[in-house]
Amino acid sequence: MKLNKFLLKLSSEIMNNSSKLIKNLKICNTCIMDTSDEDISFDETGQCSHCISFYNSLKKNWTPGTKEVLKELDDIVVSMKEKQKNQEYDAIIGLSGGVDSSYLAYWARKEANLRLLAVHVDAGWNSDLAVRNIEEIVKKLNIQLFTEVVDWEAIKDVQTAFFKAGVANQDTPQDHAFFSVLYSFAEKNNIKYVINGNNYTSESVLPVAWGHDAMDSVHMKDICKQHGGKKWKKFPFVSTFKYHVFIPRIRKMQIISPLNYIDYKKMDAIKVLEKELNWQYYGGKHYESRFTKFFQSYWLPKKFGYDKRKAHLSSLILSEEITRDEALDEMKKNSYDESTIEQDIDYICKKLDVRKEDFISWMNEPNKKFSDYKNNVFIKKVIYSFIIEFSNLKSRVNIFSKVKYILARIKYLSLKILSKLKN
């Protein structure tokens, strides 16, 4: 009885905190993004920085489905097939069973006739529906599938550490494992092309303040060292050097996002998948994972006041797939099912082998930013500074000029790094 009262009190505090977070939010008059994004700004007309960036930059250069863009995509496909002609596969795809990756697989086989290797990473949170959808996709499209089951004890240790750390980016462990395994399979099978489901249609609005780079292994390891046990060391980490230098610069692996070239409409894609592949919708973006569904629909809005539906729906507004009024109507619905949320919390706690009172108390702890932990932000700046310098070096005409330039730049960058480390 005392425990139930304690949990009830903590739950009440969480609800009160989340109510404070959503009060007095200023909202954009074009999309539905608001000041729950700490970095957002508005012009004198009331339009937000996400919309301004979209219309002034992305919109001018993004013309999906046009003759010129489709010709560019065709040329890419031809190049992929030519360069991979002596290999077993043309490209590799990460298959989660969600809308984007599922439709990408459909396009790749039906429209581009690519020889695909599909990789699915089972991080322990698959819904039964996700498993069924993946099985239907690979069977009907005749795609070779490899499923990698990540060490559950390692995943459990890392995800528990992230909850204890109090950061917003709780999906990092799953995402990092996914890309780590995907690139590993690409290397083993000598595949130079990764096709992914990234798309501006539903992802043009992505608030930086709501998360952090999932491929930051420095950040992950620091959180694990502070809050994890011993099992996390078995987690499939990818180093900053490997991800940003070895894979793209040395292995020359290329990432292609075909959905940004074709006239990709989410609602139309769902209809095609349902009709052609017997695919079933999950009810939300990335809800093919039971963890992601809980994290995005409950934990993130309640603890941080971040509702990712706002970003997703705002993207659909900007791509003219839905109207602003339709998005606002969707936001009137609760992000989670009140009748099942207690069972969902129980499920998460049982899977992670943590006490419910501990889990709820972590939700009520002060929020942390990724910058409260070690990260690779500075390291990445150094890496890309050297990459730029190397590109500039290629323009030098003789060996003397190149050596002189290298020495000068090494001295400059070394002093810059030392100054940063001192501060």
Query: What is the average pLDDT value for the chain, to the nearest integer?
Result: 89
Residues 284, 382, single domain; the answer is no
Q: What is the predicted pLDDT for the residue at 47?
A: 98
Residues 176, 259, single domain; the answer is yes
pLDDT grade for 281, boundaries at 50, 70 and 90:
confident
Residues 6+ apart with CB under 8 A from 34: 25, 26, 27, 28, 40, 310
- Judged on CB neighbours under 10 Å (0-12, 13-18, 19+), 392 is exposed
pLDDT at 22 over 60: no
Strand order in the sheet with 193-195: 144-149, 116-122, 91-94, 193-195, 254-256
Give me the CATH number covering residue 298: 3.40.50.620
Q: What is the predicted pLDDT for the residue at 412?
A: 67
| Rounded Cα distance, 162 and 180, in Å | 18
Of 135-144, 156-165, 228-237, 392-401, which gets the smallest average pLDDT? 392-401
Three-state SS across the chain?
CHHHHHHHHHHHHHHHHHHHHHCCCCECCCCCCECCCCCCCECCCCCEHHHHHHHHHHHHHCCCCCHHHHHHHHHHHHHHHHHCCCCCCCEEEECCCCHHHHHHHHHHHHCCCCCEEEEEEECCCECHHHHHHHHHHHHHHCCEEEEEECCHHHHHHHHHHHHHHCCCCCCHHHHHHHHHHHHHHHHHCCCCEEECCCCHHHHCCCCHHHCCCCCCHHHHHHHHHHHCCCHHHHCCCCCHHHHHHHHHHHCCCEEECHHHCCCCCHHHHHHHHHHHHCCCCCCCCCCCEHHHHHHHHHHHHHHHCCCHHHHHHHHHHHCCCCCHHHHHHHHCCCCCCCCCHHHHHHHHHHHHCCCHHHHHHHHHCCCCCHHHCCCCHHHHHHHHHHHHHHHHHCCCCCHHHHHHHHHHHHHHHHHHHHHHHHC
pLDDT at 7 over 60: no
Taking the model in full, what pTM does it have?
A: 0.86
Residues 270, 347, single domain; the answer is yes
Q: What is the predicted pLDDT for the residue at 416?
A: 66
**Residue-wise pLDDT tens digits, 176-186:** 999 999 999 99
pLDDT at 167 over 50: yes
Domain count, the chain: 2
Residues 254, 281, single domain; the answer is yes
Q: What is the predicted pLDDT for the residue at 100?
A: 94
Residues 99, 229, single domain; the answer is yes
Residues 315, 393, single domain; the answer is no
91 is in which domain, residue-wise? Answer: 2-372
pLDDT at 308 over 50: yes
Q: What is the predicted pLDDT for the residue at 106?
A: 98
Residues 280, 401, single domain; the answer is no
- Residue scoring higher pLDDT (285 or 354): 354
Residues 385, 367, single domain; the answer is no
pLDDT at 263 over 80: yes
**Residue-wise pLDDT tens digits, 53-64:** 999 999 999 999
Picking from 372, 390, 410, the residue at the C-terminal end of a domain is: 372
Of 14-18, 194-198, 266-270, 315-319, which gets the smallest average pLDDT? 14-18
**Residue-wise pLDDT tens digits, 188-244:** 999 999 999 999 999 999 999 999 999 999 999 999 999 998 899 999 999 999 999
Residues 21, 140, single domain; the answer is yes
pLDDT grade for 285, boundaries at 50, 70 and 90:
low
Residues 286, 417, single domain; the answer is no
pLDDT grade for 24, boundaries at 50, 70 and 90:
confident
pLDDT at 356 over 90: yes
Q: Is 179 left (phi over 0), alpha (psi -120 to 50) or beta?
A: alpha
pLDDT at 2 over 70: no
Q: What is the predicted pLDDT for the residue at 187?
A: 95
Q: What is the mean pLDDT of residues 10-36?
A: 72
Q: What is the mean pLDDT of residues 338-367?
A: 94
Residues 173, 245, single domain; the answer is yes
Residues 231, 169, single domain; the answer is yes
